[in-house]
Structure 1
Amino acid sequence: MDELTIRTTTEDDWREVRALRLAMLEDTPIAYGEHRADAEQYDEDEWRSRGRRGQAPGSTSLVAIDASGEWVGMMNGYVPDATTGPLLVGVYVAPGHRGRDAGVADALLDAVERWAAGHGTTLRLHVHEDNPRALAFYERRGFVRTGHTEPYGLDPTRSEIEMVEQLDGASPA
């Protein structure tokens, strides 16, 4: 793995947050709950708000930055409520940085897991049924299917699969 910095986002990162989110929506539109055309319309305040998620209580927004300063990946987590525990959302790694050898997805997920362990004993996610690359990554990392699905928000004829991972050394929230 090349030199990589994993850190939380801040409000001042709004331009990079915007650029990476638009790239995410272009690359894998089924993986996220919004359309690129809608995201392109958001103003600076919305993007600043998204950048602040990295510092907000009950949430995290982590980015992977390569040695050249390029943002090459992102993962987010938040706690929707105390009964469900942390939820992994907004997962993306740029095409040239994917794969086990690159290590970007693993490094980001390691960081999200450390954050999540402070908020619960499990980490949950929902992944589109037509995203085999993501399903394989999550299964390799120890996530298991719960048997629950929910309609995909942008196309209710498709489903998102719920998966959960037991966090090592997690303390109850």
Structure 2
Amino acid sequence: MAYVIRPVKAEEWQRLKELRLAALADPVARVAFNETLEEAAGRSDELWQGRAACSEAGAVPLTFIGEAADGRWGGMVVVLVETDEEVPQTHLVGVFVRREHRGTGLARELFRAAIAWSWELADPVVERVRLWVHEENGRAEAFYRALGFVETGRTDADPKDPAALEREMVLKRG
């Protein structure tokens, strides 16, 4: 299946909200996201409008979506820029592919777009792309490894369950 990978447009804020809510309703959301479906559903229209407008403007948070030939959105990834860490980096969050689009290569295409955008930044010049993966999300971790991400050794407690861990993974500029 072929997809057009592109940033969300400002007028598509309702579709962005629907995709995020679908992501949070997915059974793996428990370990993949730090926000609940109820929290996201309660967010204001202005928040969703702002996120969509940022994406269209090429600002962060920048949401890339994968649009199928029929116009349906199959998935997304969100890119943040972090300059307060030890090195300038982007941070990939909000990764989601709808069940019916899994195994099509969409996740790989979304990551390619997010990583390419990261390397193209001029201010700051990004040294690495990072993400966090929950210890129970082995499928996602294997996918990230296949893309070249490696563990840094840093861990953090899951904000929803302090007994569970998330592991930091990074892809360094090659």
TM-score by length of 1: 0.89
Percent of aligned positions with the same letter in both sequences? 34
* Aligned counterpart, 2:137: 131
* Aligned counterpart, 1:76: 78
User: Aligned pairs, how many?
Assistant: 165
Q: Per-residue displacement from partner, 1:77-133 (whole Å, max 9, x unpaired)?
A: 11121534111111111111112xx11011100100111112412111111111111
* Aligned counterpart, 2:96: 92
How far off its partner does 1:43 sit?
2.0
Consecutive unaligned residues of structure 1, counting only runs of 5 or more, are 169-173
Change (3 A) 1:17 1:58: closer
* Aligned counterpart, 1:103: 105
Over the aligned positions, Cα root-mean-square deviation in angstroms equals 1.4
SS of residue matched to 1:86: strand
Amino acid at match of 1:50: R
Distance 2:53 2:78 in 1: 12
Consecutive unaligned residues of structure 2, counting only runs of 5 or more, are none
SS of residue matched to 2:82: coil
* Aligned counterpart, 2:8: 9
* Aligned counterpart, 2:161: 155
How far off its partner does 1:57 sit?
3.1
